[in-house]
Every structure is written in structure tokens, then in C-alpha cells.
Amino acid sequence: MAVLGGAALAGCRPAPKAAKAAPPKTIAEAVAGPWRSAADKARDPWRHPLESLTFWGLKPGATVVEFWPGAGWYSEILAPFLDATGGELYAAHLQLGEPGDLSAQQVVEAYRAKYAAGRKPYGKVEVTAFGPTSGPVAPAGSADLALFLRNLHNWMAAGIAEKAFRDAFLALKPGGVLGVEEHRAAPGGVPDLLAQDGYVDQAYVTRLGQEAGFALAATSELNANPKDTRDHPFGVWTLPPVRRSSPRGEAFDPSFDHRKYDAIGESDRMTLKFVKPA
């Protein structure tokens, strides 16, 4: 009976707690972090965060400005890595306008609750703002790296793309890097300065950077997708991850056949590295 009792007691012992993830000291460790959701990790083959951040020169202890981080897809990688290595992340989020702009307020409030509260593994992220009348996104000359991640088309539509480049230039140290990832229009056409379909001319982006004072240091095909034909009924948003099935503002169309667009995958994207001259 004693043996049986001992076995029964052993079976009642609580399972050992899973070990907490160690603070990520490398970009690869941050990308592999267990705090990232399965849905976010499923997009890694399209967004190549390890390779892209390496291309842009992210280093331990860096000061980084991420423009319009949204829900924080990249912040979930950047914040833990920078917190663990003594760096700092500035999130230049949506500039809130009218009090009735509830959707923007909800996005920013959710981000603040997650990243600006000092929660592990993220540390405390400094939330600033970028928009038509916003001030500095970070202290002047403080940042090693600024990032425009699939947002230039939004700023072009709002008429603030040039301001984005100026604000990044001001925040960066001499020698600092501006990394750009953006949906890429077919080369050789007439640039759509409003980017109505979400695609942006790479030569136009290069010119914007140079006009702001940057030098184009390198380009990469890391995030290219040659299967993207760019002729989708609802622009780039027809493709994953948005998968739009009707014009903006209209109800979801349950009869829309996504198979063709899902087979393409995410958009063809330019990946650019600009440098602020020393």
C-alpha cells in the first residue's frame, strides 16, 4: 500500500513550470521568441525579419525608430532584442486627430497597453507620434536606425511622405540608417503619387530619400515576389494578409474567390537601405 500511495502522490504533483524564455541577445533569438504568435511567425517567409534587420544593420544596444508600428508585428521582435541588449525603441505611432477617430485611438491605446507598460519581454517602448502636424519622432540625432515598414503608400495618400523622410533624417545620427520595405510597382510606368492601389515606384522612393538628404546605400531582393502581377481587383490588399474581397468601406463579399490571390502570396516588395551622410 505504501508503494501504491507513493505512486499516487507522485501522480498528483504539479507539473514543473515551463522555463521562461531567456532575453534575446541576437536578432535570430528575438525572431524565434515564444512570445510571438503562430500567426505572426507564419508570415516570416514573406517578410524575412531576420534577413531584413540584418541587411539594415540592426546592432545590439541600438536606438531604433519604428514609424507607424500598427499592432506591433515588428515591435515584437525589436522591443525584446533592444531591451535585452541595452537599446531603445521609439514607436512613432499614428498621430491622433479628432476625438471621434476611435479606430486610430484604439490601435494606439492597445499598443501602449502592450509595449509602453514595461512588460516583459518587451521592456518599455517610448511611444511618440507621426502625422501631418507631429513634432520630432525621437530626440534629434539620437537614432541608429529608422524603419518605414509597408507604410509609404499610406503617407503618399495623406500627403506626408516627404515629411516622413525629413522626420527620419532629423532623428538619425550621422551615419544612421533608414530601412524601407514597401509594396513595389512595376518599373517603368508613370508613378502614382497617391499610391491608390498600394504599390509604389521604387525610383520615386529613391528620389524622396535623396531629396531629404539621404544617400541610397544598398537595395535587396529579400522581399521580392515575382509571382505578384499587381493587377488585383482591390489593389495590394486583395493579397494576404488583408485578403480584401470588396472595395474599401464595403461589406465582405463571401462569394469572392481568394484562391488565385492566396496562391500568389504576399506582395512584391522593395527593400532599401538609405544612410544619413556623416
Please tell me the pTM assigned to this model: 0.91
Give how far Cα 124 sits from Cα of 117, 229, 277, Å: 6, 41, 30
- CA 50 vs CA 154, 198, 217: distances in Å: 25, 25, 19
Q: How many CB atoms are closer than 10 A to CB 244?
A: 20
- What is the rounded CA–CA span in Å between residue 49 and residue 30? 10
DSSP state of 237: G
Question: What is the structure's pLDDT at 4?
Answer: 36
Closest CA to 77 of 20, 142, 123: 123
Task: Give me the residues paired with residue 179 across strands.
Answer: 147, 273
**If phi over 0 gives left and psi between -120 and 50 gives alpha, with beta otherwise, what is residue 229?**
alpha
Q: From residue 55, how far is each of 178, 196, 242 by CA, in Å? A: 11, 29, 26
Say what the alpha-carbon torsion angle 255, 258, 260, 265 is, to the nearest 10 degrees: 170
What are the angstrom distances between the C-alpha of 52 and each of 33, 183, 219?
Answer: 17, 15, 11
Residue 103: the pLDDT is 87
Buried b (16+ CB within 10 A) or exposed e, 173-212: eeebbbbbbbbbbeeeeebbeebebbbbbbebbbebbeeb
Q: What is the pLDDT along the chain (278 residues), one digit of tens a residue?
A: 333 333 333 344 544 443 477 999 999 999 999 999 999 999 999 999 999 999 999 999 999 999 999 999 999 999 999 999 999 999 999 999 755 567 899 999 999 999 999 999 999 999 999 999 999 999 999 999 999 999 999 999 999 999 999 999 999 999 999 999 999 999 988 999 999 999 999 999 999 999 999 999 999 999 999 999 999 999 999 999 999 999 999 999 999 999 999 999 999 999 999 999 99
CA 140 vs CA 85, 135, 171, 209: distances in Å:
22, 11, 4, 18
- All cell numbers assigned to 98: 479628432
Q: What domains can you pick out in the chain, each with its CATH number?
A: 23-228+268-275 (3.40.50.150)
